[in-house]
Every structure is written in structure tokens, then in C-alpha cells.
A and B are shown apart, each in its own frame.
Chain A
């Protein structure tokens, strides 16, 4: 046991001396590994960044909210199966809530009807177009994922009375009222004045596609009165009591909806239950595809680095054939020689890994300061993974030449010039 330890120490010492003696060669070989590690770890940070951004976006939808709509999310090829479905109606939400209340141990908490469209909003000389305006009653506050930056949600009384009040998204509020509070100010929507009673905190964009901060929420009564309800866009958002029992809740909801819609057994559902988890199912394969392709392509550069290591180990074995013979004559076993060359290859790879990680870290910091929205995420697990990858690269690429060295015939090796 001690012997292995002494041999290891000796091997490390020799490897260090060897690297020092061939600085240029080791540096160039290490560079191959560095480039490989930088490429792979950068890809890793990007994949992780995308993942985190994606999860953040999904959280905006609410992980305990089921969206009941006429159309399913995502692409529909058999549109004719959906086009004739009845739209969601405010009465449906009322009926659903009655069923939830009447069900023992219901997994469903609340159903809220809403309609939405994009409308221009003005105040003073400023105007914001395409504001995603939702009309819903006061219960919508329980569906809302975002917190309030200031102000509040309208009350049930205000909602039921169809008061002309509104809650603004962060960007809308700050565009219309730059540098001052929007609360208690008046905005004009399609010629109608609405009093701002609340502003939401900044949420960012959903999958980088559309901004969650470019929105406005008004009481359903006022929405219906001035903008009208368009059947195709209506939805009922249902809040689930326990997000861990989402599947159970969806089954219960399907049953409740079929009752409300009066569907006979055997008739197909004429509504779609949408939500973040469905999105996830659709996007996961794409995400995995990106990750796989990205890691494969960047892995190629690491592979080139590994070839460099293998090559240099072959050269090293060749150069030191006589030394190998001498060591064997003095009593080095196969294992000793194998270890010595493996450690040399691994040292170069490990050093390359450390430098590569440093470079990646620097690049991440640089990118983060220059483009804060760019999805890069440096992590401890990345450090561990890339060091393991670097060391594994050393072992794998050093193994064949090191094995060759360990099996050299001492007589032949001693005679080698």
C-alpha cells in the first residue's frame, strides 16, 4: 500500500519536472484542452441559462393554474375539430365555482373568467400601443402571479360596479408616467378614462417572445362595456389547491366542465386544458435537442484536444524509452510506468481544465455585464463536471500510450537510442 503511495508521489514529481522541462510543448498541448473545456463549459452555461430562463417564463404562467380555452396551446393540424367549439363564457366560471364548492375534497379552488386583447393606452402626450389588456373580475388577483410594485388590485365592489379603474404592467406605467407614480393618474383607453389604482412589479418577457410588463387589467364589466367580449379569446383560469396533484385536479376539472357543458358520455370534450406543464412537454425535446447538438459540437473541440494529449504522450514515451528501460531494470512494475505517463497526461489536462474554467468564468462575467439578458449561468456543478471531464480526457487519451510504455520489453527499451 505504501509502495503505491510512494510511486504516486514520485510520478507526480516526475510529471511536474517533465512539464516544466517542456514548457512550450505542454502549453500548446494544454491549449487544445483549454479550448475544448472553454467550448464545452460555455455551452454548459448557455444550456443552463436557457433552462433557467425557460423555467422563469413558465413560472409567469403560474404552476398552479390551468387555462381552460377553446384551442389547445401549440400547433393544431386538425383545426376543424376545434373551430366549432363553444367559447368560454362568464357563466361557465360561475357554474364551475358552484361545483367546486359543492365537491368534498375538491382539488380545485377557483375559476376566473377573462378576456384579453391588445389596445393602445394613452396618458397626457404619451401613448403605448398593443397593451395586452385583460378584463376580469376581482378574483383575478388570486390568479395573478406578479406582485404589486405600488397600489392594489380593484375590489369586488369596484369590479361588480364596472368602475373604470385599472392595474398597469411595469413597462406601461413607467412609459406613460416616467419618473413619477402612476397611481391615481388617469389613462385614456379608446376614449374612456380609467383611474390607475395599482402597478405590477417587473416580470420580464415570456420565453423572450412577449413582455409580461406590457399589460393592463380592468374590471370585466368595464371591459365588456367599452371593448366588448370576443368569443374566440375568452378563457377560464382555474387555480388548483395543490400543484403537486395537478393531474388529479385536471381530471376533476374535466368532469366539472363536462357537467357544465352538458356533454353526454362518449361525447368528446369541447374545451382544452392548457398550462405550463403542457408547454414543458412540447419544448423539452427541443431543449434536449439543442443541448445534445451543442454539447456534441463543442465536444468535438475537446476531442481534438484529447488527440493532442494522446499524441504528446506517445512522443513522451518514445523520447523516454531508455528511461523506461532503466526504471524497469531498477524494479519498476508495469503499473508504475503506466501511472507515471497517465499522471503526466492527466496533469496537463487538469491544468488545461482549470485555465479553461477561468476563461469561461471571465467570459461569463463579461457577457453578463455587457448583455444582462443573455442566458449564461455559471455554477459549481459546472466546475465539478468540467474538471471530471478534463481528468477523464487525460486518462482516456493517455491510456493507450501509457499502456504501451508499461508493456515495453526492458531489454529492447534499454537498447533504444
Chain B
């Protein structure tokens, strides 16, 4: 796979205030008697309006770092602040609230609720945010329109194509106006043409002022971002702008 040449005309938006600050984060797993050092001291900062890719081979700590950034997991040691709040010391339900408010997830396997239509799927984070039905309906409809699915709101996931499903998932990630959108291999289950469409949508979201973090092992996908962090053996190998 040959990496596409960087597009000449693409913009790099000025970064906003600090959103995520990680300092000396480690994560240990115990598998029987063995202790696995998934992260061995990682430090990084992410600002608003960044478009960031996290890369690394399997076993590099990429998934662990993503779970950490997504507040699905807490570090064994080190400091993690999200918009000034100390995530490292939060309990389950506090983490759930911060995920609900601050983070929009896009998964490789879409993870839509099979028995709910597109609209109900997109409304889900708003239910957990405690918003009343009519507000949920309006915002979910608007989110679906913004990803080009205004005419598919009442379709169930099995009535949609892979690309459309991922668009529903992106609408769901956007709907609660999160600080960051965290996408884990967003094109991994799509054909290359649909993958390109999804990456174009991401480009569009970035242009509109969203903060994107894409976790991928594909160079071609990573190169859509403005900054790439490469992990190896639980440490940051390189961190810099896309050349």
C-alpha cells in the first residue's frame, strides 16, 4: 500500500486550549504470574482543534493508550487530566459521565444497537445525558443530517450499508458535542472506497472545529491527520506533524 501524497491545499487549523494532559503514565496488567507493562511512562498533550493519529504495531500499547484517552480505563501510575479534571482518581460512574459529556467514540465494528433504528442509536448518549425526548429527537436528527443520513433516520442497522452504519456511529459520537472524537480503526471494517469517504467526513469534521483522535495501524489513514504519535513497546517513539 503506497501512502497517498499529502494534499497541498489542506489546512492546519490553529490549536485551541489544552484538553488532555498525560504525564508519565504507566499501565500494568497481570496475566497469571506474568506482569505486562502495556505503557511504560507516556507523556503527551492534546489541544482542541487537533487532528491526531496514534499508530503502532500490535503490542505497542496503542489500544491501552486509546482506552486511557477514552476514559475507559485508568492508569496504574502517572497523571491524566481531562479539561483540568483528574481522571486518574475517578470511579466508574464518574468516568461514565466524563465519557458521556467529553468523548465521542467511533468503533471499528460500528457497535450500533441492532434492534434500534438510526435515530434511537444516535439518541442514546443524550438519554444518558438526561435530555428530554424532544431535544434528543432534534439533536439526533440534526447529527444524522450532518453526516448525510437525513433520509435514513428510521432505518435499522441491518438496512444500512457498512459506510452508512459508520456514519450513524459518527453521528452518535458527535451528538453530545464532545471535546474529542476518538475513532478506533474507523475504516477497518470498510472497503477502501467507503474508507476514503469516511476519512473525507473526518476531514470535514476537522474543518468544522472538532478535535479528532484516530487510532490506526494503516499509514494511509494516519496521514490524513495533522500530527502522528507512534508507539513502540509502551513508549512514544515519535510525536510530530505530518510531513
Report if A and B associate in a common complex. Answer: yes
Hey, which bits of chain A sit against chain B, CB under 8 A?
Answer: 2-3, 6-7, 10, 14, 17-18, 21, 322-323, 325-336, 409-411, 414
Q: Chain A contacts of B113 at CB under 8 A?
A: 14, 323, 326
Distance of B91 from chain A, by nearest CB (Å): 10
* Contacts A326-B111, A331-B176 known; 20 new A-B pairs at CB < 8 A: A2-B132, A3-B128, A3-B130, A6-B131, A6-B132, A14-B115, A17-B115, A17-B116, A326-B113, A329-B111, A330-B100, A331-B96, A332-B96, A332-B128, A334-B93, A409-B73, A411-B67, A411-B72, A411-B73, A414-B111
Residue of A nearest to B102 (CB): A331
Bound form: Cα–Cα A343–B190 in Å: 36
A191 CB, nearest partner CB in chain B, Å: 89
A2 lies within 8 A of B130 (CB): yes
CA distance A335 to B93 in the complex (A): 9
Closest 10 CB pairs of A and B: A331-B100, A3-B130, A331-B128, A326-B111, A17-B115, A333-B93, A330-B125, A410-B72, A333-B96, A329-B105
CB distance from B15 to the nearest CB of A (A): 26
Chain A residues, Cβ within 8 Å of B128 = 3, 7, 327, 330-333, 336
Q: Which of A323, A328, A330 has the most chain B CB atoms closer than 10 A to its own CB?
A: A330
Chain B residues with CB below 8 A from A329, complex form = 70, 72, 99, 105, 111
Known: A3-B130, A6-B130, A21-B115. A331 touches B101 (CB 8 A): yes
Tell me the complex Cα distance, A17–B114, Å.
10
Instruction: Say whether A10 contacts B115, CB under 8 Å.
Output: no
Q: CB-nearest residue of chain B relative to A330?
A: B125
Q: Closest approach, in angstroms, between the C-beta of A22 and any C-beta of chain B?
A: 11
Question: Do B105 and A330 have beta carbons less than 8 Å apart?
Answer: yes
Shortest distance between the CB of B25 and any CB in chain A (Å): 15
Q: Interface residue tally of chain B, by bracket? A: 20 to 34
Q: Does B167 contact A (CB under 8 A)?
A: no
How distant is A373 from chain B, measured CB to nearest CB, in Å? 52
Q: How far is the CB of B132 from chain A (nearest CB, A)?
A: 7
CA distance A323 to B107 in the complex (A): 12
B36 at the interface (CB under 8 A from A): no
Determine the distance from Cα of A7 to Cα of B130 in the docked complex, in whole angstroms.
8
* A3–B97 alpha-carbon span in the complex (Å): 12
- Beyond A21-B115, A414-B72, whether A328 also contacts B130 by CB under 8 A is no
Q: Which residues on the A side are within 8 Å of B124 (C-beta)?
A: 10, 327, 330
CA–CA, A411 and B92, complex, Å: 12
Cβ of B129 under 8 Å from chain A:
yes
Q: How far is the CA of A334 from the CA of B116 in the complex (A)?
A: 21
A336 to B100, CA, bound (A): 13
Nearest Cβ in chain B — how far from A304, in angstroms?
A: 30
Residues on B with C-beta less than 8 A from A330 are 99-100, 105, 124-125, 128, 172
Q: In the assembled complex, which residues on chain B have CB atoms less than 8 Å from the CB atom of A7?
A: 127-128
Distance between B113 CB and nearest chain A CB, rounded to angstroms: 6
Contacts of B38-76 to chain A: CB distance below 8 A? 67, 70, 72-73
Which residues of A are found within 8 Å of B116, using beta-carbon distances?
14, 17
Within 8 Å CB of B127, what residues of A?
3, 6-7, 10
Closest to B175 in A: A330
Assembled-state Cα–Cα distance A14/B114 (Å): 11
**Residue pair B92, A334 in contact (C-beta under 8 Å):** yes
Q: Are B125 and A331 in contact (CB under 8 A)?
A: yes
What separation, in Å, do the CA atoms of A322 and B113 have in the docked complex?
A: 10
Known: A17-B115, A331-B99. A326 touches B67 (CB 8 A): no
- Nearest-neighbor residue (CB-CB) of B176 within chain A: A331
Query: Whole-angstrom distance from the CB of B150 to the nearest CB of chain A?
Result: 22
Using CB atoms, name the residue of chain B closest to A335: B93
Residue of B whose beta carbon sits closest to that of A410: B72
List B contacts of A10 (CB < 8 A). Answer: 124, 127
Bound-state CA distance A38–B93 (Å) is: 41
